[in-house]
Amino acid sequence: MISTNRKPRAFAPDPAAPGQGCDSPGCLLEGGFRAPKSRTNLREFHWFCLDHVREYNASWDYYKGMSAGEIEAAARADASWQRPSWPLGQNGSAAKLQEAVEAELHAFAFGSERPRAATRANTPPELREALEVFELVWPVSLDTVKATYKALAKKHHPDANQGSKQAEERLKTINLAYATLRAKLA
């Protein structure tokens, strides 16, 4: 049985090579191997022959010209794929807290009209308590209930609240309310 290795060897020329000569001065060989021109633009390449690309790669330093602080910052950013991260349980809670404070101040300054009294009379009695847990007003769709459940479950999950017993009890209440609403609205 003959096996064919379809994976090209690491030192094989790039199949997408432009067919130009080696970028090294004085070299007349074909440049089939690419090497990045700079750390700021990794999508522009020099094209070298095998010997010159090995020489270039041996001397090329990605962090050349950076201070120790800049190298540390780059390493930290690479550890999280250049995305922001927060400690478990916070999820950007400072922004949520700011929104809550602004909402409270707005309600204090301008009053808040929540049509709960008018719609509470129209709400089916078996759904009133569950809707209050979700802070929703009747009539409500199943999609709205699902979205609200997902947000509340994420917010009150014990893992996101350092194992808090209060959060665990609140999550149990949310789960019961969700089961009630899902059964009636489905």
**Do the beta carbons of residue 64 and residue 74 sit within 8 Å?**
no
Helical ranges in 8-115 per DSSP H: 50-59, 68-79, 93-110
Domains of the chain, first to last: 15-63 (no CATH), 114-185 (1.10.287.110)
Per-residue pLDDT of the chain (186 residues; tens, 9 = 90+): 566 666 656 566 777 777 788 989 999 898 888 888 888 888 888 889 999 999 999 998 888 889 999 999 888 888 888 777 666 655 656 666 777 787 788 777 776 544 444 455 677 888 888 888 888 888 888 899 999 999 999 988 888 888 888 888 999 999 999 999 998 887
Q: State the Cα angle at 85 between 82 and 88, rounded to 5°.
A: 155
The reported pTM is 0.39
